[in-house]
């Protein structure tokens, strides 16, 4: 298929641009609220879905379901990325929030383990997979849409609101947690109170679905351009490998003699399945795809350490109460959120590349002293100050994460190119952050986890050095 020459696209008015950014941001906030509500309330609902035992073991089981949600994200990224590049950004955004609504509602109404036995964690897993499909598709569609609608002069600033709303979603989930902690006794929170945030998320998703249906399509998608064709062979091979993965995975959770071999086969089939999704994109855009995976590996791992995992780290390692941990996490997230527009604006002035080098180089050097200091902190103020120092460095990446990726790809493959490499790297590093951290703690080697994070951040630093400055070499040329 050959490309056609694109005519000059009309510029958006300031009001239209602000409306588009606000509309995309509102949906992104609710998507990520629903996603992070799971992590924020894990301490309370883990006993309801998993048999009683050691708290760390229960958290590991809940974290495993959290990870399986991440496994679904590349599938959502692939499906929604292709859909967004063919049917439009607006259509994909609406579909992703509909899936999130379904997942949140299922979690809100599912009976506990005492009532329906093993069906409880099975249904929880199904709901989390739906949410994983949704968030996998949401990232690429919303990052692409907001970057395309931002305009060249202030693209770093406006697209930084992608992470503003991502953090705001997590902050809203923590805010709901703090309110419920203040209003309900811990026994009632564990009994039924943890269901409230998921019901709220489902209702908000319905509102956002209506908002997104009224958004304008991006100029980049409306402009005539070539479209990526999807091979029937790729779809068929991916479908077969996914079916084999599911079959082996189901066999692997049994107690028979085939359980262990089936688990190993499921892991092999899963790797082959993901390879079948990413290889065609890597063949067409190798440098861009691999650089996004490297940047995402370091950026997502560190993000989840300082946000999702930090609440549990403050309780299990630093010895703070659950209430103190929630409040420290909320305050650090407020600071983190407010840093995004400033760092995005700065990237418009100095370029994307210097910001990335600072984020990954500074992050690799600072993770050990910051995490060690938090583990030894005796006051909330000290712990908060250390977390804020860490997220300030991380902001140099998070604020421009969406725009850097979007600027690497042409319009006809942009949503897929942004979403799929990001989602795969998230499975390997973001989705496993809690499990790896808790596993190190379980083996009495918690400080080794800090070295692991520093090593992955160093990979991101190498990618930042190799990367061309996307702000000065952007492929977003429509506006």
pLDDT tens per residue across span 416-434: 999 999 989 988 898 788 8
CB-based contact 125:38 (threshold 8 Å): no
What pLDDT is recorded for position 455?
A: 96
What pLDDT is recorded for position 253?
A: 61
Classify each residue of 190-221 as buried b or exposed e, where b means 16 or more C-beta atoms within 10 Å of its C-beta. Answer: beebbbbbbebbbebbeebbebbeebbebbbb
Overall size of the chain counted in residues: 479
What pLDDT is recorded for position 191?
A: 84
- Give the integer Cα–Cα distance in Å for 296 and 192: 36
Nearest to 135 by CA among 202, 70, 208: 70
What pLDDT is recorded for position 224?
A: 47
Q: What is the pTM of this model?
A: 0.83
Query: Could you say which DSSP state residue 427 is in?
Result: I
Sign of CA dihedral 214, 218, 221, 222: positive
Residues of the chain with pLDDT below 70 are: 1-13, 51-67, 70, 222-231, 252-256, 478-479
């Amino acid at each position: 298929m050959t490309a056609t020459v694109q005519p000059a696209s009309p510029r958006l008015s300031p009001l239209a641009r602000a409306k588009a950014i606000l509309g995309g941001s509102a949906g992104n906030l609710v998507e990520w609220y629903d996603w992070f509500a799971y992590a924020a309330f894990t301490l309370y609902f883990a006993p309801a879905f998993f048999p009683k035992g050691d708290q760390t073991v229960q958290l590991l089981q809940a974290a495993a379901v959290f990870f399986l949600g991440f496994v679904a994200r590349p599938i959502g990224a692939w499906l929604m990325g292709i859909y967004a590049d063919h049917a439009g950004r607006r259509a994909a955004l609406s579909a992703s929030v509909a899936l999130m609504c379904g997942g949140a509602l299922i979690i809100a109404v599912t009976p506990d383990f005492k009532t329906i036995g093993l069906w409880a964690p099975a249904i929880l897993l199904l709901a989390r997979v739906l949410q994983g499909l949704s968030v996998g598709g949401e990232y690429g569609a919303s990052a692409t849409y907001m970057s395309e609608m931002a305009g060249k002069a202030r693209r770093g600033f406006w697209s930084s609101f992608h992470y503003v709303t991502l953090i705001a979603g997590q902050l809203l989930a923590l805010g709901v947690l703090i309110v419920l902690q203040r209003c309900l006794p811990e026994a009632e929170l564990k009994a039924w109170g943890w269901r409230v945030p998921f019901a709220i998320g489902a209702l908000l998703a319905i509102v956002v679905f209506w908002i997104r249906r009224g958004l304008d399509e991006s100029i980049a998608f409306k402009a005539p351009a070539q479209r990526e064709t999807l091979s029937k062979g790729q779809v068929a091979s991916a479908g077969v490998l996914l079916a084999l993965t599911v079959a082996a995975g189901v066999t692997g959770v049994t107690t028979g003699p085939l359980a262990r071999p089936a688990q190993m086969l499921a892991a092999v089939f899963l790797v082959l399945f993901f390879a079948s999704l990413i290889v065609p994109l890597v063949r067409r855009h190798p440098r861009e795809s691999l650089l996004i995976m490297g940047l995402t590996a370091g950026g997502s791992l560190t993000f989840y350490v300082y946000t999702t995992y930090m609440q549990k780290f403050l309780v299990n390692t630093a010895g703070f109460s659950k209430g103190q941990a929630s409040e420290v996490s909320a305050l650090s997230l407020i600071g983190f959120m407010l840093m995004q527009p400033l760092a995005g604006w700065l990237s418009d002035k100095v370029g994307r590349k210097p910001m990335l080098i600072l984020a990954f180089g500074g992050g690799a050097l600072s993770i050990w002293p910051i995490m060690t200091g938090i583990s030894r902190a005796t006051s909330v103020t000290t712990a908060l100050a250390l977390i804020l120092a860490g997220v300030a460095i991380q902001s140099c990446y998070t604020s421009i994460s969406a725009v850097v990726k979007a600027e690497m790809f042409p319009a006809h493959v942009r949503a897929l190119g942004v979403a799929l490499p990001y989602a795969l790297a998230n499975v390997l590093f973001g989705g496993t952050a809690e499990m790896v951290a808790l596993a190190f703690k379980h083996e009495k080697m918690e400080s080794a986890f800090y070295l692991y994070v520093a090593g992955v951040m160093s990979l991101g630093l190498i990618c930042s050095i190799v990367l061309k400055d996307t702000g000065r070499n952007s492929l977003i040329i429509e506006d």
